[in-house]
Structure 1
Amino acid sequence: MRQLINTLSFGLLFCCLTACGDRLELAPEQSISGELATATEANVRNILVGAYAEAGKDESYGGQMQFMADLLGAGDRISWVGTFLDPRQVVTKDILTDNNFIALFWNNHYATINQANLVLDNLDKIESDPEERNRIEGEARFLRGLCYFDLVRHFGSGDMGVPLRTTGISDYAVDLSLDRSPTSAIYDLILADLQTSVDILPGSNSFFADEYSAQALLARVNLQLGNYEVARTAANNVILNSGRMLTADYAGAFNNDENSTEDLFAFQVTSQDGQNDLINHYADEENGGRGGDIIVTDAYLTLFTDTLDVRGDYFYASRQSGNRLTGKYSNQFGNIALIRLAEMYLIRAETNLRLDTEVGASPLADLNTIRARAGAELLEDDDDNIEDDISINTILEERFRELAFEGFFIHDIRRLGLSVDGFDADANELVFPIPQSEIDTNPAITQNPGYN
């Protein structure tokens, strides 16, 4: 993000493009026209920069998306002790349609999608170099696919997906009413966007999305969909060819001012730019937080019967309350790792187990790679029968240990048909409501079941 500071001063452009694409709002009088904003190659580049900055705000990938998913799916493993009512509604599964945290999440994702769409609508302005045009297109498709994936995971209900917009909006004076597209149509776009990104992005791209960022996200999406062979192939390719490697120790994967060796995609945070809302709610005051709104309970520690596993001790006591807080967020200017290589090992392990294959490595070997880095006792292969050694539950528990407090809880529960806090995986309470502000301004949209 250090390289973005100057370009983000393109303020008028950014202001006119950050309004949510689904909100029926008029562009402010001082905004420049959409035609002018996209008139040159330099302007289109700046829209892409603005899309990254928008996505990295605290309302979404700056932390709110991750901890809201944790609060929805963690059950008794964490507890909300903060004063804000909106996150507490998520914990109790009694969410109101005017929940502001959820509305900001929705609006921010559509603002990012709109900027990505404007870039894609104006690729003809990129005349300097075909490879540069591919890079810009690939990054825009990556961001759009990422945002739609998290929108449909959090707001999709059965066959009802979310509003699907694939054209940028620059004129907010027209009727923007739009109902929800089928879930299948949303996933079709996500998969197409990410595959195109894999095909046209470079193998390395500074801290921006590259070929392996897109392929890693493609692995995550296909795991969610149950497309295990595709997920396995993508995860395996990332492990073998991305050049990333696990950090030498578990703590090295977090609180980094620069991307770590295992970051496949991370949002950049500095003292001048970027936001880390995970710090705000997971950390105490000395580490830049509010004192520790989200605490780790004894129930989470029951996952660690192995005293050698450093992940079972990667916590600290709040200086204010003495409550147990995760050590993953203690640097208020640390980058937010959205996709780590460790996840790819776990995806490859699960998909190989489900398919009874050993592409790249056996499921046992991949689990032990993750456990060895954490100092945990290695799992043993007694009789070369994979199913006797480990199970899907074994891998799920390893995911809970390795990926905790990174926004995975609810999605693993829903895709595996589990329950949380007495609610089945398909319960209405485990899906966010369409924000009331969207219902009020978009008469074509349908609310999720269970919400009035």
Structure 2
Amino acid sequence: MKKLTKNIFLIGLAVSTLTSCDNSYLDLEPKVSIDESAALNTSKDIQVTLNGAYDGLSDVNVWGGGSQYIKELLVDDRDVVFGGTYTTLDEIWRKTIATTNGDITNLWLDSYNAINRVNNVMSAISKVDDANRNRVEGEARFIRGALYFDLVNLYGKFWGDGDNNTNLAVPLILTPTRGITQDDYRTRATVAQVYAQVIDDLTKAEQLLSSQVDNYGFASKNAAAAMLSRVYLAQGNYALARDAANRVITSGVHALAPTFADAFADGSNTEELIFRIIVTDQDGANDLNTFYGSTASNGRGDIRVQSKFLSLYSSEDSRGKFFERVNNLNFTLKFADRYGDLPIIRFAEMYLTRAECNFRLGTTVGALPISDINKIRDRAGANLLTNLTLADILKERRLELAFEGGNYLDIKRTKQSVGALTSNSNALTLPIPQREIDTNKSLVQNAGY
């Protein structure tokens, strides 16, 4: 997918201009920008706008890497060392974040930028032709639901940490922002309100979309179900998380890559990836490569894996060998390809989620918990387990999904400490960016900042 232009908006809350992709999937003429007066008049215009939402989602500050490494660094307990010169990332890793931190500001702005593009699509969904309307609405809802799930977990108290109905999250904006007035300065919605919208969007997305193998970076029915499984798992709603993961597993659309390394080998991992961000040598960027990749892999070599983490793998486990050593420092090979697509949801996660939920509930929907865990371990060449504990399952998630952005949710939902910090420490929640506080007097800052 070749994206042409990224127009950055001021939307904290801000205005959306529209970009497009040259994409056979939508068969649209590429356009750099569209005049607002004619932007949403035809079915193709609206599909171009949807492409712009995907473009925003893939921004380096969002799912092009920023969202993932911010989460990983924020709950890191010396599994890695940040050795780079970027003070903004060093602040996150050390849990001493300034409210003016550029990375947390850009994540907020660019997420709302993409949400605003989705809201433009939704405002004109009735104009989309019958053949494409369900797909366009489903994909738009997937993007918006997934982005709000990120925002509520990073900038608000985690689900269950106090009263979800009074804890503040982020502004919940569901209509287009095309010009800034006093009415656009929204207050922060509650955690419960944002979660309700996330579940509504993703549930409707699953209903509207069709099943297909990843479809090269576009949302599908299984992508929506897989994201729902994450949401329900974060809430501790194990029955619904299990059932959503089971729907993906039993759909017959996806499969584990033959080897763990194959899951990250661009071009050979189509069935494993439920949703990914497309990166090409013509456009797009892989900021996980930038910071996790060694200099030998065209990265900066800033995030260095420590022996503390490597020692978690048993000697026969191929996942423990999926690292490279450069200048006496260790780096993950997951993002070694500078132009490799970024895995957002992998099929392996669905087995891990189903196993955990079945184990907690004492059920065997789809399979025995130990069977699902051993399926993942067998693929990695690790010794199979003969008995299973919850600690085994949580460790398996850590070994399999390391550095992909999921550890933040696992630390928070299972209430694990990070060094001397408890999981609900103010230092493990991002501050509302200072530029938003200064601009929008309706916002209040998080505790501790």
TM-score by length of 2: 0.91
State the Cα distance separating 1:442 from its structure 2 match: 1.0
Higher deviation after alignment, 255-264 or 187-196: 255-264
Aligned partner of 2:448 in structure 1 is: 450
The partner residue of 1:285 within 292, 295, 301 is 295
Residue type at the aligned position of 1:303: L
Aligned partner of 1:369 in structure 2 is: 375
Aligned partner of 2:25 in structure 1 is: none
Aligned partner of 1:153 in structure 2 is: 153
Aligned partner of 2:340 in structure 1 is: 334
- Quickly say closer, same or farther: Cα 1:109–1:242, change in 2 above 3 A: farther
Helix, strand or coil at the partner of 2:284: coil
Aligned partner of 1:438 in structure 2 is: 436
Aligned partner of 1:85 in structure 2 is: 87
User: Does the CA-based 8 Å contact 1:73-1:420 persist in structure 2?
Assistant: yes
Distance 2:154 2:128 in 1: 34
Aligned partner of 1:170 in structure 2 is: 178
Residue type at the aligned position of 1:67: Y
- Does residue 305 of structure 2 align to residue 296 of structure 1? yes
Helix, strand or coil at the partner of 2:243: helix
1:237-248 superposed matches below 5 A: 237-248=247-258
State the Cα distance separating 1:396 from its structure 2 match: 0.8
- Does residue 323 of structure 2 align to residue 315 of structure 1? yes
Residue type at the aligned position of 1:371: R
User: Does the CA-based 8 Å contact 1:195-1:215 persist in structure 2?
Assistant: yes
Aligned partner of 1:47 in structure 2 is: 49
Helix, strand or coil at the partner of 1:76: coil
Q: For each residue in 1:55-110, what CA deviation from the matched residue of structure 2 results, as whole angstroms up to 9, or x when unmatched?
A: 10111100111111111112111110011111111111111000001101111110
- Quickly say closer, same or farther: Cα 1:442–1:31, change in 2 above 3 A: farther
- Does residue 349 of structure 2 align to residue 343 of structure 1? yes
Helix, strand or coil at the partner of 2:47: helix
- Quickly say closer, same or farther: Cα 1:32–1:171, change in 2 above 3 A: farther
Q: For each residue in 1:106-135, what CA deviation from the matched residue of structure 2 results, as whole angstroms up to 9, or x when unmatched?
A: 1111011100111011112213xx241000
Unaligned runs of 5+ in 1: 381-388
Aligned partner of 2:164 in structure 1 is: none
Residue type at the aligned position of 1:404: A
The partner residue of 1:217 within 223, 227, 251 is 227
Q: For each residue in 1:375-410, what CA deviation from the matched residue of structure 2 results, as whole angstroms up to 9, or x when unmatched?
A: 000001xxxxxxxx3222111110110000101222
Distance 1:34 1:246 in 2: 44
State the Cα distance separating 1:175 from its structure 2 match: 4.1
State the Cα distance separating 1:285 from its structure 2 match: 2.4
Aligned partner of 1:226 in structure 2 is: 236
Residue type at the aligned position of 1:302: S
User: Does the CA-based 8 Å contact 1:117-1:168 persist in structure 2?
Assistant: yes
User: Does the CA-based 8 Å contact 2:207-2:221 persist in structure 1?
Assistant: yes
User: Does the CA-based 8 Å contact 1:257-1:269 persist in structure 2?
Assistant: no
Distance 1:239 1:210 in 2: 14
Distance 2:332 2:287 in 1: 14
Residue type at the aligned position of 1:147: L
- Does residue 58 of structure 2 align to residue 60 of structure 1? no
The partner residue of 2:190 within 182, 206, 211 is 182
Aligned partner of 1:193 in structure 2 is: 201
Distance 2:73 2:47 in 1: 36
Distance 1:26 1:165 in 2: 13
Residue type at the aligned position of 1:180: R
Distance 2:33 2:398 in 1: 46
1:385-396 superposed matches below 5 A: 389-396=387-394
Aligned partner of 2:9 in structure 1 is: 19
Aligned partner of 2:143 in structure 1 is: 143
Distance 2:120 2:40 in 1: 8
User: Does the CA-based 8 Å contact 1:26-1:173 persist in structure 2?
Assistant: no
Aligned partner of 1:125 in structure 2 is: 127
Helix, strand or coil at the partner of 1:79: strand
Distance 1:250 1:31 in 2: 41
The partner residue of 1:249 within 235, 239, 259 is 259
